[in-house]
Every structure is written in structure tokens, then in C-alpha cells.
Amino acid sequence: MPNLNEVIRSTPKAELHIHVEGSLEPRMMFDLARRNGVPLPYGSVEEVRRAYSFGNLQEFLDLYYEGMNVLRTEEDFLDLADAYLRRAAADNVVHVEMFFDPQAHTGRGVPLSTLMDGLERAIARSRERGVSVSLILCFLRHLTEGEAFETLEAAEPWRDRLLGVGLDSSEVGHPPSKFARVFDAARDMGLRLVAHAGEEGPPEYVWEALDILGAERIDHGNRALEDDALVARLRDDRIPLTVCPLSNLELRVVDDLAAHPIKRMLDLGLVATVNSDDPAYFGGYINDNFHRVAEAVGLSPEDIQTLAKNSLDASFMVPEVGGGQGVVRNR
């Protein structure tokens, strides 16, 4: 077996938990601020980096929503997604299921068509390079059910460009059940369903995501490990967890990477995957997440291969008849 670094580098993988807005690097934030004449509360790239020290999810979200204020035009969304997709390809990512937060843009006057068209152009380029990409529209759970419904309706003209819907933003106080009817409507539209749950929220939120929303994957899911019956459910139904080690470290979901539960999740028979979440904010893209957590908890080359295989199995990709890899239903 080649060494760990070589296995991480060379193993094909899918990324299933990446918020495209969370891939906005400080350098690009400055470039777009200048291009669009948007004032920034930072004097330099170094100052931005220094500001990225978070005590919890909300402290991160405050800077995340502030940072994306520089995204104004179709070109901005093209450049953002294109940079991420090139970076992912360099990590041997063969398929991406990419989250985006439309309400964070429409809420400040950027039309949905602007981001949909920019993202679509980046996706077309990525497909030409051989990396398939699908879009998952996330509802911001700190906003109302009515606002989520409005967003789903507004997205109907782009239905065929969407793979599914997700649920993100401030978790505690906004249980999945708040969006039960919105997810029912999304299911009726034939969209796939995922939800962030158990990042900061209790195991009950993971149960709700499964039983009330009908989520097919759980984003994060760390706190599910507190409930043995829930672990059994996730294992028996092979519900994937899209786990984000560096995010968990930076948002204090774990105190120390050595205490990260990724190995325990594998040992419990869970379909765990490794992802970057918001790589520009948490200090690493997908292979950095693999490297750092592997070193911290002692993953073997076989564990890396299991995690990578899990990501391909957990994706909503439909394998090409004849066994081709990385081929996705055209959405």
C-alpha cells in the first residue's frame, strides 16, 4: 500500500458538503470588492485571515454573510465557483454536489438569475474538464417557512438545474420540523433532500431531519453519536453523514482534531464522508481535511479508501451503464 499522502492524493472522491460561498478566498474577496466598488471592513488580506477565529457557528455565519456581500454579478459567481471547482479537481474530486444559499443573495438585491447563470457557466466548464457538478439549493433556517416557500417557488424556472434542496445556517432554535411543508413541496418537485443536523443541534434534530423532512443524507451529524438508537438507524438505513473535520475544529464542535469522531463513525459502521464545508474560512480544501484528520486520529490507507468510496456511494450520481465512474444524471 502506498503511503497515506499518496493514497489521499490519488483516490477519486466526491465532495458532498461544500457551500460555494464558503470558498470565497480573502484574495478574491478583495478583488471583487474592488471590481464592484464595495467597501470592506478590512484593510488587507492578512487582516481578513486574522478575523477568522470563531467561537461557534454563529460567529462564523456573521462573517460568512458579510463576506459574500462582494458577490454582485454573474461574473462574480462564475469566478467563485470556477476557482473552487479547479481547486477540487486538483484534489482528485470527480464529482461535486454543491450547496448555494440563494436567500443570502436575493435578500440583498441580487437576482436569482444572476447567480444561477454564473454558477451554470462554471459548472459547464467543470464538466468539460471531466468533473461532474450538481447544485443543491439550501434554505436559510434562521429565516421563515414562508420565505423558504418563496425561494422554492422563485427557483421553479431553474428546476432542471437543481439536484436537490438542503437546510443550513443557524441550527439551534431552528429545528428541521420548521421546514416540513417546504421539504414536502420540494419532494413533490422530484428534488433530492438533505439537511444540516447535529452540528450544534441535539440528536432530536437529526431524528426530525430523517423522520419529518425525509432527508436522504445528514450534513455533519456529529451529535447523532450521543444517541445509540439514532446511530443504529443511520447505520441500518445507510444514511450518509457528510462530515467536515476542519469546520468542526474551527467552529468548536470538537475541542481538538485528535478527538474528532470520524474513525469512531467508521467503526460504528456509519457511511461517513469527508468534506470541506467552507474551505476559505476553515483553512483547507477536501484533501487538507483528509490529511489533517488522518494524522490527528490515525486513519489507515484503507480508512481513506473507505471514506472516498463512501463519498461516491453517498452521492446522488447515477453510474453510467457499463460501469463508468463520475457520470451523473444531467442535473
DSSP codes of every residue in 240-265: -EEE-HHHHHHTTSSSSGGG-THHHH
- In degrees and rounded to multiples of 5, residue 194 shows phi and psi of -135, 165
- In degrees and rounded to multiples of 5, residue 321 shows phi and psi of -60, 130
Select from 274, 300, 270, 294 the least CA-distant residue to 286: 274
Q: Respond yes or no: is residue 226 known to be catalytic.
A: no
**In this chain, which residue has its C-beta nearest to ligand ADE?**
168
Alpha carbon distance 250, 254 (integer Å): 8
User: Does 250 participate in binding Zn ion (rule CB under 5 A)?
Assistant: no
- CB-nearer residue toward ligand ADE: 7 or 68: 68
Among Zn ion, ligand ADE, none, partner that 199 touches (CB below 5 to 8 angstroms by kind): ligand ADE
- CB-nearer residue toward Zn ion: 120 or 277: 277
Using CB atoms within 10 Å of the CB of residue 125, give its burial: 0 to 12 exposed, 13 to 18 middle, 19+ buried: middle
Among Zn ion, ligand ADE, none, partner that 103 touches (CB below 5 to 8 angstroms by kind): none
- CB-nearer residue toward ligand ADE: 199 or 303: 199
From candidates 72, 95, 105, 196, binder to ligand ADE by CB under 6 A:
196
- CB-nearer residue toward ligand ADE: 7 or 24: 24
- CB-nearer residue toward Zn ion: 79 or 277: 277
Q: Between 162 and 191, how does the x/- string for binding to ligand ADE read (CB under 6 A)? A: ------xx----------------------
**Which long-range CB contacts under 8 A does 263-268 form with residues at least 24 apart?**
263/297, 263/298, 263/299, 263/303, 264/225, 265/225, 265/241, 266/303, 266/306, 266/307, 268/225, 268/231, 268/235
User: Does 277 participate in binding Zn ion (rule CB under 5 A)?
Assistant: yes
Cell readout for 277 is 464545508
CB 151 within 8 Å of CB 185: no
Q: Between 60 and 79, how does the x/- string for binding to ligand ADE read (CB under 6 A)? A: ----x---------------
Alpha carbon distance 289, 294 (integer Å): 8
Q: Which stretch binds Zn ion (CB under 5 A): 73-81, 174-182, 263-271, 272-280?
A: 272-280
Q: How far is the CB of 97 from ligand ADE (least distance, A)?
A: 15
Q: How far is the CB of 321 from ligand ADE (least distance, A)?
A: 36
User: Does 208 participate in binding ligand ADE (rule CB under 6 A)?
Assistant: no
Binding residues for ligand ADE, rule CB under 6 A, total 11
CB 212 within 8 Å of CB 205: no
Amino acid sitting at position 296: A
Active site residues per annotation: 199
Chain residues binding ligand ADE by CB under 6 A are: 19, 22, 57, 64, 168-169, 196, 199, 247, 277-278
